[in-house]
């Protein structure tokens, strides 16, 4: 099917000695994305690294520099968050944006759990729930269910028993970042949208495209909306249409360094990585046209590569919007 919604994803890298410049670059790219006609801009998270550690704060800033583009997180690991506080923060930013926030979340223990648990949960590390129960709490709070046993007036103050502000449409824009059949099924059964990325779990196959296609089908088979349930596919695409010779050489080195990891499953969870797609927009469009998962969806969040310069990202976003998107059936804005 033709591409309907065009998005991009950035990690928001920065120099630890000059973090303001990196964050400013991220906001500039989101603003550029809106100017180029992208439908959505997504930010990753990177705790204790040189990337966006507070995506909600970054998106709050982005709401004041944009007016149309949807703003998403891909994804917030709930293990690092208090579900009630996160629901409050996201609802606040959604109100500020005029209803444009698309929160993507995931479950599971924090990365490097043994190294961070003493700082993150010094008193409760052994009893914290990092599974779907934590996500269910978050969903209830966003959807406006009770968060307290008291509401009413106390003196001159008025208390609510649900998250405030309440942003009614936010619950319909909740996404789950899933890489396994179980997670895709859970997201569908609970009426969420699905983010599928360039990392999946090899369960029934070692062919990345077939695995991702199976995730999409499993999700929609268990979602109340069936084949109309929203799925956004995330892959790294590097169009070279307007790139300089120096940029093309740098991009190719990046892809060559990352390609070996795509050959077979990695680690005890058998994670599979997608190959980065590099070439002209016409070449990338042909490759995507052969991808069974891409043929199932009409929304994408193309991931910008790590560690490139701001000028590189400008070139990539411009080519994606003006060259690749039309080649995929979405007219240039």
Task: Yes or no: say if 243 and 264 are a contact pair by the CB < 8 Å rule.
Answer: no
Per the prediction, the chain carries an average pLDDT of 97
Which residues have CB under 8 Å from 313's CB, separation 6+?
Answer: 10, 25, 29, 304
**Residue among 276, 283, 284 nearest 308 (CA):** 276
DSSP-assigned letters across all residues of 82-112:
-HHHHHHHHHHHHHHHTS-EEEEEE-SPPTT
Q: Is 217 a domain residue? A: no
In this structure, what token pair is assigned to residue 229?
């349930």
pTM (2 d.p.):
0.96
The predicted pLDDT at position 333 comes to 66
Q: For the segment 197-231, what is each residue's pLDDT rounded down to a tens digit?
A: 999 999 999 999 999 999 999 999 999 999 999 99
What pLDDT, on a 0 to 100 scale, did the predictor assign at position 2?
Answer: 83
Give pLDDT tens digits for 253-267.
999 999 999 999 999
Report if residue 67 sits inside a domain: yes
- Flag whether 31 is in a domain: no
Residue 229 located in a structural domain: no
SS3 302: strand
Percent of the chain past pLDDT 70, that is, above it, reads 99
* 249 lies in some domain: no
**What number is the average pLDDT over the span 301-328?**
97
CB 151 within 8 A of CB 159: yes
Q: Using 50, 70 and 90 to split pLDDT, how confident is the model at 331?
A: confident
In a domain, 235, yes or no: no
Q: By residue range, what is the domain housing residue 268?
A: 1-25+37-148+160-177+257-279+297-306+328-333
Does residue 248 sit within a domain?
A: no
| pLDDT tens column, 133-178 | 999 999 999 999 999 999 999 999 999 999 999 999 999 999 999 9
64 contacts 98 by C-beta, under 8 angstroms: no
Give how many domains the chain has, as a whole number: 1
Q: State the CATH number of the domain containing residue 72.
A: 3.20.20.30
Average pLDDT for 22-31:
98
Instruction: Inform me whether the pLDDT recorded for 332 exceeds 70.
Output: no
Answer whether residue 66 is part of any domain.
yes
d(CA 174, CA 331): 27
């Amino acid at each position: 099917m033709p591409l309907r919604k065009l998005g991009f994803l950035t990690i928001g890298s920065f120099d630890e000695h000059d973090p303001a410049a990196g964050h400013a670059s991220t906001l500039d790219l989101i603003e550029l994305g809106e100017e180029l006609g992208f439908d959505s801009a997504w930010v990753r998270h990177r705790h204790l690294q040189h990337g966006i550690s507070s995506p909600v704060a970054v998106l709050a800033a982005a709401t004041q520099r944009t007016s149309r583009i949807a703003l998403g997180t891909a994804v917030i690991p709930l293990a690092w968050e208090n579900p009630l506080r996160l629901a409050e923060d996201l609802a606040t930013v959604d109100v500020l944006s005029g209803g444009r926030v698309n929160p993507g979340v995931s479950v599971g223990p924090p990365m490097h759990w043994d190294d961070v648990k003493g700082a993150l949960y010094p008193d409760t590390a052994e009893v914290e729930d990092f599974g779907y129960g934590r996500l269910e709490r978050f969903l209830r709070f966003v959807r406006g269910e009770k968060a307290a046993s008291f509401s009413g007036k106390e003196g001159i103050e008025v208390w609510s028993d649900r998250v405030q502000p309440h942003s009614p449409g936010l619950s319909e824009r909740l996404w789950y970042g899933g890489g396994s059949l179980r997670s895709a099924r859970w997201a569908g059964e609970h009426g969420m949208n699905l983010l599928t990325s360039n990392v999946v779990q090899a369960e029934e196959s070692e062919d990345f495209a077939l695995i991702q296609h199976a995730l999409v089908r499993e999700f929609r088979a268990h979602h109340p909306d069936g084949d109309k349930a929203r799925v956004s596919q995330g892959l790294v695409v590097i169009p070279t249409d307007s790139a300089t010779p120096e940029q093309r050489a740098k991009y190719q080195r990046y892809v060559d360094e990352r390609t070996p990891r795509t050959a077979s499953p990695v680690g005890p969870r058998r994670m599979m990585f997608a190959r980065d797609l590099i070439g002209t927009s016409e070449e990338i469009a042909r490759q995507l046209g052969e991808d069974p998962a891409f043929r199932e969806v009409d929304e994408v969040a193309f991931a910008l590569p790590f560690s490139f310069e701001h000028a590189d990202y400008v070139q990539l976003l411009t080519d994606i919007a003006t060259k690749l998107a039309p080649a995929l059936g979405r007219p240039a804005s």
